[in-house]
Amino acid sequence: HQTNISKDEL
């Protein structure tokens, strides 16, 4: 699911 990717970014 695409949203979890940017949650590991600052």
- At its nearest, how many Å lie between other proteins and the CB of residue 5? 4
Size of the site for other proteins (CB under 8 A): 8
Quick note: the x/- pattern for other proteins over 1-10, rule CB under 8 A, is -xx-xxxxxx
* Identity of the amino acid at 9: E
CA–CA separation, 9 and 5 (whole Å):
8
Q: DSSP readout, 1-10?
A: -THHHHTT--
- At its nearest, how many Å lie between other proteins and the CB of residue 6? 4
Q: Which residues bind other proteins (CB under 8 A)?
A: 2-3, 5-10
